[in-house]
Structure 1
Amino acid sequence: MGNRVRRLGLAAATGACLLAGAAAAQMAPQAATQGPLRLVPQPIPSPAPSPAVEQPPAPPVPVPPQPFPAATVVRPGQPAANPAPIPQPAASADPAQIHPPTPRPQPTDGVAAVRAFYDALGQADAARANTYVIPEKRGSGAYDIASMNRFYGNMSVPVRLLAAEPIGRNAVRVRYHYVYVNGRNCDGAAEVALAERDGLALIERIKALNDC
């Protein structure tokens, strides 16, 4: 019995070897017809595009702080400060509204008339001095305007009235001083006679009491 088992095992092994050899013989012609092995390159996948990098927004431009006006502190009992007025352009004067200067009122008393007369002579203003003289003598004789301006305008020291005193109702005694351009010095005295015209006291004549 043991020999039978060994013979069956040997037969099985021999059969397996025959089957393996037949399979190998069948594979050999098929491999010869297919030729050598070829290596086919595999496509390399392209890299995925990188996502776009989002740029951060630009920082805002800093704005300098605006100065605030200082608050005005008003203490109890202290008046509030008024804002300074805004200067306005000066309005041009309308020529139609420009009035000539008002003439000086004539003095009604003799002393005032005499003082005004000598004040005009001190300024070499013969035209104004003539307004204190009676109308019938104005601009003629000793009261000629051009002659008076020439004489009293050549003073190194203008005429200055030193005193004016009334003597009676219609006369005034005066003292005056001047220095002429040639150096002649005068301390004069005179009596001034007055006359009334239209309620005004005017000079009628002047009588010198010394050489000047």
Structure 2
Amino acid sequence: MGNRVRRLGLAAATGACLLAGAAAAQMAPQAATQGPLRLVPQPIPSPAPSPAVEQPPAPPVPVPPQPSSAATVVRPGQPAANPAPIPQPAASADPAQIHPPTPRPQPTDGVAAVRAFYDALGQADAARANTYVIPEKRGSGAYDIASMNRFYGNMSVPVRLLAAEPIGRNAVRVRYHYVYVNGRSCDGAAEVALAERDGLALIERIKALNDC
């Protein structure tokens, strides 16, 4: 009796194993056809949009001035047009041109002519001194302008007329003083002969009465 029960239990276990193996064999082809399992990512929910923050209005962008339609366009290789001249202030008129200097009147008095002559020498102005000399002797000999300017311009004490006295109708005696640049002093005297030209008294000749 006990042996029979063991045999029945063994048979039942064997049958259960066979049934399990058949089921496993049936499931294997199905799994092979289906292939490996695939993982499908789940969509991540996007965060809810935050409430909009009101921004201040942007400042206006300055627009550069546009060139005038009349502006000249210079193309490569084309010479640029000459710029418009800059207006210059009007030059002021020379007062000497508006009011020309009045010519120095020549004295008709012999003493006045001699005094004017020595006054010009005291300023080392030989050109003016020559205007009191007769025309035929001006700028030559003892009245050479360059020589006179050189001599009377080298005075440490300029020529100064001390006296001018008429001696006769056409002569004047003079006394003068000067100190030369080298220190030599002169207290001179001379007789000046006069001649009349066109109503003017002019110097014709000067005769020194001493060594200067």
Change (3 A) 1:102 1:16: same
- 1:41 is paired with a residue whose SS is coil
Match of 1:40 in 2: 40
Change (3 A) 1:72 1:170: farther
Per-residue deviation, 1:125: 0.1
Partners of 2:147 and 2:36 lie apart in 1 by: 153
- 1:80 is paired with a residue whose SS is coil
Residues 89-110 of structure 1, C-alpha deviations (whole Å, 9 max, x = no match):
9994477952431221000010
Per-residue deviation, 1:113: 0.1
Asked if 1:31 corresponds to 2:31, the answer is yes
Per-residue deviation, 1:61: 35
Per-residue deviation, 1:10: 105
Per-residue deviation, 1:72: 62
Partners of 2:20 and 2:79 lie apart in 1 by: 128
Partners of 2:142 and 2:29 lie apart in 1 by: 172
Residues 63-88 of structure 1, C-alpha deviations (whole Å, 9 max, x = no match):
99999999999999999999999999
Aligned length: 212
Per-residue deviation, 1:13: 99
Partners of 1:106 and 1:73 lie apart in 2 by: 69
Residues 150-205 of structure 1, C-alpha deviations (whole Å, 9 max, x = no match):
00000000000000000000000000000000000000000000000000000000
Change (3 A) 1:49 1:189: same
Change (3 A) 1:176 1:49: same
Change (3 A) 1:10 1:208: closer
Between the aligned residues of both structures, percent identity stands at 99
Change (3 A) 1:27 1:107: closer
Partners of 1:25 and 1:139 lie apart in 2 by: 154
Partners of 1:189 and 1:78 lie apart in 2 by: 82
Provide runs of 4+ in structure 1 moved above 4 Å. Answer: 1-92, 94-97
Partners of 1:31 and 1:22 lie apart in 2 by: 15
Change (3 A) 1:99 1:64: same
- 1:205 is paired with a residue whose SS is strand
- 2:121 is paired with a residue whose SS is helix
Structure with larger Rg: 1
